[in-house]
Amino acid sequence: MVPMNTQVSYSIGSKNETSSLVGSLSLENDSCGVVEGNLKIASEIGIILPTYCEAANIERLVNEIENLDMNVSLLVIDDSSPDGSADIVRKLQRKYNNILLLVRSKKMGLGTAITDGFKSLLSLVNPPEYIVTMDADYSHNPKDVPHVVSAAKEGKGLAIGSRYCKGGRIINWSLFRLVTSRIANLVASSVVGAKIHDYTSGLRCYSATLVKAIVNDLHSQTYEIQIETIRQACKREFNIKEVPITFINRKKGKSKLTPNEIREFISYILNLVHC
């Protein structure tokens, strides 16, 4: 058992002679997942890439992250995407030795993917000091990763790749997405009250200290995870910085923002307002 106050347990065993160690991971929500890859990996930064049907984007994204001059490991959390995203990641694991893959049994939402990602990285034999999350649809430019990491290191808390602070931009979003994102941010700002402009950006870097402090209080199913992590960080007075980024609407694959996800998000906000 890993000495950590979460509901995660690993058993590490050798899968075969050549490659990887495989760990079985028991998740809080009683679903089971198996982390494939070298669980003894040691890197300063762990990057969580949640994927649901990102076969058209994941390879290019991983290749570009690998080309950054950074000490990183990658953890892809795939919800058994029917388009074969996980198999592309397995192929990439043969090319790069710093990729972990957690395949969950079904689509369970971005919120639980990120939380399971946090728990998995913190449970490694050598956990990273900083944890980055980013979308796997190529909306976030890998070249922005070093900037959010530097900002998180300066503040030892959370750095957000911000589309709404000075210098931030959004390219190619529909009017509907622009308006819904702005409204979500206005409401989040009024209930959470952090001194930031972008509560819903998915490109961030957290210190592991911050993640350890909040992870057991994260129960978000879907996109509201982005606001909830900021709220939890604020409650504990962690430093939160913003770094301007340019967000480009995905060119390939489909958005996973469904009416169900929007309903979850609204119910989360209503809950906060009533608290």
Ligand X SMILES: Nc1nc2c(ncn2[C@@H]2O[C@H](COP(=O)(O)OP(=O)(O)OP(=O)(O)O)[C@@H](O)[C@H]2O)c(=O)[nH]1
Q: Which residues bind ligand X (CB under 6 A)?
A: 50-52, 54, 77-79, 107-110, 113, 135-137, 139, 177, 202, 223, 249-250, 255-257
Answer whether 103's CB lies under 8 Å from 36's CB: yes
Q: Considering beta carbons, is residue 18 or 174 the nearer one to ligand X?
A: 174
Applying CB under 5 A, among 43, 139, 185, 200 the residue interacting with Mg ion is 139
Q: Considering beta carbons, is residue 90 or 107 the nearer one to ligand X?
A: 107
DSSP per residue over the chain, as a string?
A: --SSSSS--EEEEE--SSS-EEEEEE-TTS-EEEEES-TT-B-SEEEEEEESS-TTTHHHHHHHHHTSSS-EEEEEEE---TT-HHHHHHHHHHH-SSEEEEE-SS---HHHHHHHHHHHHHTSSB--SEEEE--SSS-S-GGGHHHHHHHHHHHTSEEEEESSSTT-EEES--HHHHHHHHHHHHHHHHHH--S-S-SS-S-EEEEHHHHHHHGGG----STTHHHHHHHHHHHTT--EEEEE-EEE--SSS-----HHHHHHHHHHHHHHHH-
Q: Considering beta carbons, is residue 79 or 242 the nearer one to ligand X?
A: 79
Is 137 near Mg ion (CB under 5 A)?
yes
Is 133 near Mg ion (CB under 5 A)?
no
Q: Considering beta carbons, is residue 112 or 238 the nearer one to ligand X?
A: 112
Is 261 near Mg ion (CB under 5 A)?
no
CB of 173 to ligand X, least distance (A): 7
Q: Considering beta carbons, is residue 236 or 254 the nearer one to Mg ion?
A: 254
Is 224 near Mg ion (CB under 5 A)?
no
Is 181 near Mg ion (CB under 5 A)?
no
> Residue of minimal CB distance from ligand X?
255
- Among ligand X, Mg ion, none, what binds residue 51 when CB lies within 5 to 8 Å by partner kind? ligand X
CB of 51 to ligand X, least distance (A): 5
Q: Cβ of 206: how many Cβ atoms within 10 Å?
A: 27
CB of 162 to ligand X, least distance (A): 15
- Among Mg ion, ligand X, none, what binds residue 10 when CB lies within 5 to 8 Å by partner kind? none
Alpha-carbon distance 110 to 125, whole Å?
A: 25
Q: Is the dihedral of CA 140, 122, 76, 97 positive or negative?
A: positive
CB of 53 to ligand X, least distance (A): 7
- Among ligand X, Mg ion, none, what binds residue 108 when CB lies within 5 to 8 Å by partner kind? ligand X
Q: Considering beta carbons, is residue 207 or 221 the nearer one to Mg ion?
A: 221
Binding residues (CB under 5 A) for Mg ion: these are: 135, 137, 139, 250
